[in-house]
Structure 1
Amino acid sequence: MTSIRDLLGEAVGVGQRYYLRLEERDGILVAAHPNDSSPMDIAVVEGLDRLEERPPTEPVTVEIVDRVVDGRIAGRVVASGPQNA
């Protein structure tokens, strides 16, 4: 049986990596979710030590993690610089 949590996890792409441009909103780095079916944007709250600038001037690779922060799905920076997702 598929649960709502499973469906939400599929829609937001838990475990998936995306190459995203980040912006700062209310002190949190945020990216628009690239999946049109996702009901949430991404709050990038982990791996921030990988960033030289906040917000970075170039897109970074973000992995979606299994939790929600301020009404957004959480993400972690896994690489900065040229795309290598």
Structure 2
Amino acid sequence: MTSIRDLLGESLGIGETYRLRLEEHDETLVADHPNDASPMDIAVVEGLNRLEERPPPEPVTVEVVARVIDGCIAGRVVDTDPDHR
């Protein structure tokens, strides 16, 4: 049987990585969630030391983690290479 937690985790993409363009909102880097079924955007709050600029000019690879920050699902920067796909 599938639980609500499983469905929510699936729509949020917890543990998944995405190439995202980040924008700064109220001093937090935020990205639109690429999954249209996700009820939350992504607040990037970990791995910020990898960024040379804030927000970075190019998309970066972000992993979604199982935490909620200010109404967004949390994310961590895992790669900043603009040529990485």
TM-score by length of 1: 0.94
- Give runs of aligned pairs for residues 6-85 of structure 1, distance below 5 A: 6-84=6-84
Q: Secondary structure at the match of 1:36?
A: coil
The alpha-carbon deviation at position 6 of structure 1 amounts to: 1.4
Does the Cα contact within 8 Å between 1:63 and 1:76 map onto a contact in 2?
Answer: yes
Q: Secondary structure at the match of 1:58?
A: coil
RMSD over aligned Cα, in angstroms? 1.1
Q: In the aligned structure 2, how far is the partner of 1:10 from the partner of 1:3?
A: 11
Q: In the aligned structure 2, how far is the partner of 1:55 from the partner of 1:49?
A: 12
Q: Secondary structure at the match of 2:55?
A: coil
Which sections of structure 1, spanning at least 5 residues, go unmatched? none
How many residues align? The count is: 85
1:38 corresponds to which letter in structure 2?
S
Aligned structure 1 segments of 4 or more residues deviating by more than 2 angstroms: none
Does the Cα contact within 8 Å between 1:61 and 1:83 map onto a contact in 2?
Answer: no
Match of 1:3 in 2: 3
